[in-house]
Structure 1
Amino acid sequence: MPYIQRDLNGNISAISMKSGPEFSEYLSPTHPQLVSFLDNYKNVSHSLAALEESDMEFVRITEDLVNTLVAKNVILFTDLPEAVQQKLLAREKLREQIQGERNESFMDDGEAGVF
């Protein structure tokens, strides 16, 4: 039983399964305004998930860019703020650890596998 809250323009701004002071108006689950609100919420949720996924990709791009600039002596690693240095070093250590674990999973009885 969806109860809704409306904004100043009369649009649905929130829904609740329980009635209350701010959720006093009941709408049928098939009411067009409620269906539209839920569709919009679903679209926003998908967009947020896509943005979050692209954020992780962008972090890796930025990290690679910093590594390239340092490798080409455009900047010195020590020119970066201490907090940035620590985060980059921590990520590098995690990647090395993961790579080491991946390599071990390709081993058979201590011998290197054929690739």
Structure 2
Amino acid sequence: MLYVSRDSQGNISELHPMPVGAAKEGLEADNPEVLQFIHERWRQNELTSLDRDFVRVIEDTLELLMAKDLILFTDLPAPVQEKLLRRREIRQQTNYNGGYADNDSDIIRI
């Protein structure tokens, strides 16, 4: 038995293994609404994961274009410049390289 709470349209908004807060309505695990809710959450998580990966692909593509002098950093809109600089800063602070290199060699200095 799983316990659900619903939104204002009557759709499942939360799913719990025991009654918690507003999740007091019990439904079987094979209930079509439960299965639909789980499937939708899985799809959302999958898209979120793909989006994160794609952001890195776009970022790497921009870095490559700048390294080849096909575009200049200053050609990018100011909000894009700010985001790229912030992401670069965070990666440097956390020593994150996304699995693309063993050091900071994937970061192009401007």
Q: Which runs of 4+ in 1 moved over 4 A?
A: 72-76
| Long gaps (5+) in structure 2 | 75-80, 98-102
TM-score (structure 2 length as normaliser): 0.63
Q: Does 1:45 align with 2:55?
A: no
Distance change in 2, residues 1:8/1:55 (3 Å): same
Alignment RMSD: 3.2
**C-alpha distance in structure 1 between counterparts of 2:53 and 2:35, whole Å:** 27
Higher relative contact order (CA 8 A, sep 6+): 2
SS class of match (1:21): coil
Deviations for 1:54-101, whole angstroms, at most 9, x for unmatched residues? 1111110121233334xx79567xxx77x93xx38x58x6127xxxxx
TM-score (structure 1 length as normaliser): 0.61
Which residue identity does 2:5 align to in structure 1? Q
SS class of match (2:68): helix
**C-alpha distance in structure 1 between counterparts of 2:34 and 2:73, whole Å:** 54
Of Structure 1 and Structure 2, the greater helix share is in: 1
| Long gaps (5+) in structure 1 | 97-115
Distance change in 2, residues 1:42/1:74 (3 Å): closer
